[in-house]
Every structure is written in structure tokens, then in C-alpha cells.
Amino acid sequence: MQTVITAGRLYTPLEEIERPLIFVEDGMITELRSQTSREIPADSSVTDLGDVVLAPGFIDIHIHGGAGHDVMQADPAALPAVERLLRLHGVTSYVPTTVTAPVDLTLAALERLADAIEAGEKSGDGELRARPAGIHLEGPFISHARRGVHPPADLLPPTLETFERFWEASRGHIKIITIAPELEGARAVIAEATRRGVCVSLGHSDADLQATQAGVAAGARHATHVFNAMRPFDHREPGILGEVLTDDRLSAEIIADGIHVDPLIVRLFLRAKGAEAAVLVTDATAATGMPNGRYQLGSLEVDVKDGRCVAGGKLAGSVLTLDKAVQNVMKFANWNLQQAVRLATLNPARTAGLPSSLGCIVPGGAADMVALSPSGEVRTTIVRGQVA
């Protein structure tokens, strides 16, 4: 049966539609109109969400876990638990992110994540939760100097042979790879990954300006959690940050929790990258949605207290949720809801090379949406046309 979903306002996110009518069949959007231009057919099932703002479902392209579970865990209950938590915060698609670990553990995790992606593509189990849309490989091709909490013993030089092993284990589902461009062999891996349609992201890097520009020339087009795990900016030696903030070919992600970067720096970042190239991510760990305590991040143990996730005294991911990141952008930079929503929907979808029907509300696209208050709080999440 055809379902019609309506609300007070819709952000596609590029367009704003007052009193929208969203026609849905079999989980897909068939028509998008306004109540001023179209009547609701008498035989339709109507879901009126009231005076909320509808937007595309959020997409997190850098997330390690949540609800007490890590995405690299072998436990079959891990991903469903993460996905239920994500749905509560408006996320309908995500890109599970690995952390540097022994190669065998990484390969096994990539295979499990590929299984989950393919199961979601076929049908899913009907439960309302976020779906994995690809894999983000963060490490092991990163700098020792800027490794953060990634285990130094498991870092590897970038080689085509190792990349091929990861690619085969993922069955081609790697969408993003974070790499330090200054490492020997990095440019060859960047070029090959780019050739295969992977978004190469510069991060965990001590690169100077020349090495960064060489990485961009080889095909890199994104930057991982900007300012964190990067050579600091210097006005005479701008390094990787100078290139990331000024090169219009690069999109870039930021963890807007007020902990990883100061709110003023979030404002500076948004001015530099603008509405088209800025991407909000969480870098969330298993501790997200959980009380203070000790949790897993890949093969590491991390401690969480008062919103800070640390290992060995260093920040180790976050407990941020994407809805809170959207609200923080509104607060830190005085952006409106429509502007902030784009950074968590259309921009991450384009960055990761996800299907064009994700990250926006258009006929022919999946009916994945989030209902928000005017200040960005999640009221409900809609997955494949089903209202949670």
C-alpha cells in the first residue's frame, strides 16, 4: 500500500518544502510534493508527524562503535546493538570504521563487515536500525608520529600487496581509507585505491605541504578528523592543515564535540571548507550511549569519564552522536538547521561515494528520514518508510 508521510517542513536538504507530502512504496520514495500542489489520495495510508522538520537520515562515515560494542567485534550481537543506538540519534546509514590492529584481526573484521553490508543490501531483518553502507579503513597506513592511540606495533608501511589483501577481505566494500601521504609507498596506494573508487582521506599524518600536495595529486580528496592527529599549522610551514583548509578539491571531516576541537576552531573550519565540503563525523567508540567505564576500541582498552574517551592519556575517539554534532554546529557557528543538516547527510554521502539516493530526499531514493525539532533534537527516525 502507498504511504504518505507529511510534516511541517522538509529539508531535502538543498530545498525547503513547507507542508511536504512524501509518497512511499516498498520503502522507496515515489513522489515528493507539497500540500499546496497535491491532494492526498483517498486510498493512501497517511502518517502525519505534526509540526516537525523532516530531513534525510543522518550518515556517519567515521564511527567505531556504540552501545558497548565495537564494529570490529566478532560478537554477532555487536553491529545490531550499534545500529539500534544510531537509529535513536537519527542515523539511517553508516560506514563502520576499523582501527589499526594485527592484520589477521583486521582481515577477519573486514569479512564480517562485508557480510553485514551485503545482508543489508538484500533485505535486512525488518528491524528499524541503521544500515552499514561501506567500510572506512583507518590504519594501518598512518604516521608513527601522529598515530594517536593506534598501536605502534601494528602500523604498516603502505604497499599495494597489503592494500590488496584488505580489499579482497572486504569484497570491494571499502569506501574510505585514511592514509598518511608522507609515508613511502603512499602515493602508489592512493592512486590504486582512487582507481577503484575508494575515497582516499589524508589523516594521522605529519606531512609537510609538499607531501600533502603530492597525495592530493595522486588522488586523495578528503581529510580525516581535521586538526586531530595532524601536524599543527604553522604560518611559515603550513603543512597538511594548510592544504586541507585551502584546497577546494578536498572535503574534510570534523568532530564537533567541543572536546576534540574548540568551538572557535569549529567555526574557523566551517568558514574555510564551507557548506559544500565540510562533513560532520562522530569517531564514536563502544562507550557511546554508555555510562563512565572501560570499553574496547579495536584491540585497545579505553576509559570514559565525563564525555572524554582516553587511552594512555590521549583522546581515543569520542562519545559524540551525530544529532548532537548538528546541534553543536548551530551553537558554535550560528548556522541554521538546514545548513547544519547538510553536513550530516548529503556531504558525507557524496564524500564516501554512496548511492545518489542516500543523503537526500528525492523520488527514487530510499525513504530514510529523521524528524527533528527546530533546534535539531531527534523526534523520530524513519527507516525505509517505517516510522520508529
Taking the C-alpha atoms of residue 76 and residue 80, their distance in angstroms, rounded to an integer, is: 8
Is residue 184 located within the same domain as residue 222?
A: yes
Is residue 48 located within the same domain as residue 61?
A: no
CATH code of the domain in which 185 resides: 3.20.20.140
Is residue 42 located within the same domain as residue 191?
A: no
Residue 365 falls inside a structural domain: no
Is residue 34 located within the same domain as residue 137?
A: no
Based on DSSP, count helices (H) and strands (E) in the chain, helices before strands: 10, 25
Is residue 70 located within the same domain as residue 168?
A: yes
Is residue 115 located within the same domain as residue 14?
A: no
Q: What is the extent of the structural domain holding 19?
A: 3-53+375-387
CATH code of the domain in which 40 resides: 2.30.40.10
Share of the chain above pLDDT 90, in %: 91
Residue 269 falls inside a structural domain: yes
Better pLDDT: 117 or 299: 117
User: For the segment 133-179, what is each residue's pLDDT rounded down to a tens digit?
Assistant: 999 999 999 999 999 999 999 999 999 999 999 999 999 999 999 99
User: For the segment 265-310, what is each residue's pLDDT rounded down to a tens digit?
Assistant: 999 999 999 999 999 999 999 999 999 999 999 888 999 999 999 9
Residue 326 falls inside a structural domain: yes
User: Residue 121: what pLDDT?
Assistant: 73
**Residue range 331-351: mean pLDDT, rounded:** 98
| Enzyme catalytic residues | 283
User: For the segment 26-37, what is each residue's pLDDT rounded down to a tens digit?
Assistant: 999 999 999 988
User: For the segment 52-106, what is each residue's pLDDT rounded down to a tens digit?
Assistant: 999 999 999 999 999 999 999 999 999 999 999 999 999 999 999 999 999 999 9
Is residue 343 located within the same domain as residue 382?
A: no
User: Residue 82: what pLDDT?
Assistant: 98
Residue 367 falls inside a structural domain: no
Q: What's the number of domains the chain is made of?
A: 2
Burial (Cβ within 10 Å: 0-12, 13-18, ≥19) of residue 296: buried
pTM of the model: 0.97
Is residue 48 located within the same domain as residue 190?
A: no
Is residue 46 located within the same domain as residue 65?
A: no
What is the CA 239 to chain-centroid distance, rounded? 25
Residue 106 falls inside a structural domain: yes
User: Residue 39: what pLDDT?
Assistant: 82
List the grid coordinates of 40.
492526498
Is residue 154 located within the same domain as residue 33?
A: no
